[in-house]
Amino acid sequence: MQELNQRGLMQLDLTEVPGLDNLHNPCACLRESQNLAASVFKAQETFYLVNGSTVGLEAAILAINSPQGKAIIPRHAHVSVLNALILSGGNPIVAPVLMEKTWGIPLGVSPETLSALIEKEITLSEEERLLGKVLGKEGEAAGKKALDFVLTVNPTYQGVGYTAGAIKKLVQEKGIPHVVDEAHGAHLFFQESCPLSLQKEQADIVVQSTHKTLAAFTQASMLHVNTPRYRAPIREALQILQTTSPSYLLLASLDSVQAQMQERGAELVEKKRELADLLRKEMRGILGLKVFPEGGLPRGWHYDPAKVLVSAADLGLTGWELAELLRVKQGIIVEMADYFSVLFLVTWGHDYEDIGKVGRALREIVRTKKGKGKPLPALNYPADLYERTIRLLLTPREVYYNKKEAVSIEAASGRISGKALTVYPPGIPCVWPGQVLEPAQIEYLQWALDHKLAVQGVSEDNQIAVIKES
C-alpha cells in the first residue's frame, strides 16, 4: 500500500468532484465516455458498471421482470441471476443444459430446447386467455404475458456456446425480450472466426465483464442496450442498485478500454487467438495430456479460442492437483480448476515466453508423474439431473422470505430446498431453491461428498437448508 501511495495512485481515488461528472446522472465526461463505448460496441446505449456483471444482470432483470412474471433461465446461469429474481419476484422456468459428460462441463441450452420452452409458454398463455374469456375474466387474463424475458449465457466460463445469430433469431422471432450474460465474451465482439458474440448480433440487453477478457480493472463491466425501449428502465434500475460513490479508478479503466478497443481491438484479440493456438499445440504434443474439445463439438456449437482447457486425468491428477503443482513448483496460476481439468485464459498481456513457460512446466510435471498414478475414475454424475426442465414450487423471492431449518442429507428427501446446491464439477446447481429434493439428488450429493468433490450448499456436518414446515 505504501508503494502504491508513493507512486501517486491514491491521488487518483476520486469521487464526484467538479469536472468528474456523476455516474447516476452523467452529463459531461462520463456521458461522453459511455457514448464512445456505445459507438465501439455498436450499442444504442452503454452503461458503465462498477459492481461487475452481477449488477448488470440484476439491473436488466429488475427492469423487465414483474412479480410472478415468468422467465426462462438456463440451468448454468450465474448466481446473480438467482439474486435478481429475489429482487424482481419473478417466476423462473429453469431450462436444462446440454452437458459434455467426459469433461463434466455445461455446453449450454440447445436451440431446440429453448424454442420448445418458449412455444410451450406462449401456448399456455393463449390457453389462459381463452379460459379467461369463458369465465368472464378476459381483461385479467389478457394482462398476463407468456414470458417477461429469456436469459441466455453465451459463452460459458469454459468458452462454449451456440451460434449467436441462430439464438438471436430464435428469440427475436418469438417476440420475447432477450437478456444475455456475455460476461466471458466481451473480446469476441472484435473478431470474426468464432460466432459467439450476441452483442455483435444486437440482442436486446447484453452484459459483459469488461474486466475478464478485456483490459479493465477487476469489478469494472459494461451493460449494452440495443433496443431503445429498455434504456430508461435500465437506467432507473441501475440508480437503485449501483453505489452513489463509484470508484473513478474503475471508471477510468473502462474509458481506457473503449479507447484501446476502438484503436486496436481486432489486432489485440487476434494476438490472443494466436497465443492460445500456440499453447494448445504445445499441450497436444505432451503425451498424457488431453486438450478440450478432443473430438470437436456438436454441430452449431463453438469454442472460444482464447480459452485453453487441459486435463491430466490419464496421469492420475485431478485438475485441483495439477493447478497446485503449477502454482507451487512453477509459479503459474491458472484461471480455474476442477476435478477433471484446469482452464488457462490467454490474454494479449501474455507473450511467447509465457507460452513456453507453461509448456515447459507441463512437460516437467508429466515427466515426474508419468507411470506413478492410475488414471482418474471417470466422472459418474447423473447428467439427467442437469438435462431436464425444473418447475419450482416456490419462487426465489418466496424461498428467501420463508423460514428455513437445517436437516441432514438423509432427511432432506421430499423437502423444499432453501438454497442452491452445487457440485463442482460441473459447478452449476443440481438443485435450485424452491425445488423438491428427490432421492436421486440426495444420492448424488452423498456420492459427491464421498468422492471428495466440492459441494456448495451443504454444511460441514452434512446438513441442508430446507423450507420449514408449519
Provide the number of structural domains found in the chain.
3
CA atoms of 317 and 372, how far apart (whole Å): 10
Task: Identify whether residues 186 and 296 lie together within a single domain.
Answer: no
Tens-level pLDDT at each residue, the chain (470 residues)? 456 456 667 777 777 777 788 999 999 999 999 999 999 999 999 999 999 999 999 999 999 999 999 999 999 999 999 999 999 999 999 999 999 988 999 999 999 999 999 999 998 777 666 656 565 655 555 446 789 999 999 999 999 999 999 999 999 999 999 999 999 999 999 999 999 999 999 999 999 999 999 999 999 999 999 999 999 999 999 999 999 999 999 999 999 999 999 999 999 999 999 999 999 999 999 999 999 998 889 999 999 999 999 999 999 999 999 999 999 989 999 999 999 999 999 999 999 999 999 999 999 999 998 767 789 988 777 878 899 888 899 999 999 999 999 999 999 999 999 999 999 888 899 999 999 999 999 999 998 998 888 899 999 999 999 999 97
Is residue 168 included in any domain, yes or no?
A: yes
* Rounded alpha-carbon distances, angstroms, from residue 35 to 41, 54, 115, 309: 10, 22, 35, 36
Question: Are 207 and 260 part of one and the same domain?
Answer: yes
CATH of the domain at 258: 3.40.640.10
**Is residue 163 in some structural domain?**
yes
Whether 253 and 285 share a structural domain: no
Q: SS3 letters for 83-124? A: HHHHHHCCEEEEECCEEECCCCEEEECCHHHHHHHHHHHHHH
Residue 1: predicted pLDDT: 47
Longest dimension (CA), the chain: 77
Query: Would you say 177 and 118 are in contact if contact means Cβ atoms under 8 Å apart?
Result: no
Asked if the structure places residue 177 within a domain, the reply is yes
Of 205, 236, 264, which residue sits at a domain end? 264
How far apart are the C-alpha atoms of 311 and 175, rounded to whole Å?
42
pTM (2 decimals)? 0.93
The verdict on 305 and 453 lying in the same domain is no
pLDDT at 425: 84
- Asked if the structure places residue 8 within a domain, the reply is no
The answer to whether residues 97 and 75 touch, using CB atoms and an 8 Å cutoff, is yes
Going by their DSSP bridges, the two strands 105-108 and 98-100 should be labelled as antiparallel
Question: Cβ contacts of residue 99 below 8 Å, gap of 6+?
Answer: 105, 106, 107, 383, 386, 387, 426
Do residue 252 and residue 285 come from a single domain?
no
Residue 299's domain comprises 267-369
> What is the predicted pLDDT for the residue at 139?
55
What b/e readout covers 321-346, taking b as 16+ CB neighbours within 10 angstroms? bbbebbeeeeebebbbbbbbbbbbbb
Q: Are residues 158 and 281 in the same domain?
A: no
| 424 falls within a domain | yes
Residue 218 and residue 297 in one domain: no
216 and 99 in one domain?
Answer: yes
| In-domain check, residue 461 | yes
Residue 86: per-residue pLDDT: 97
Q: What is the model's pLDDT at position 409?
A: 94
Residue 416 and residue 273 in one domain: no
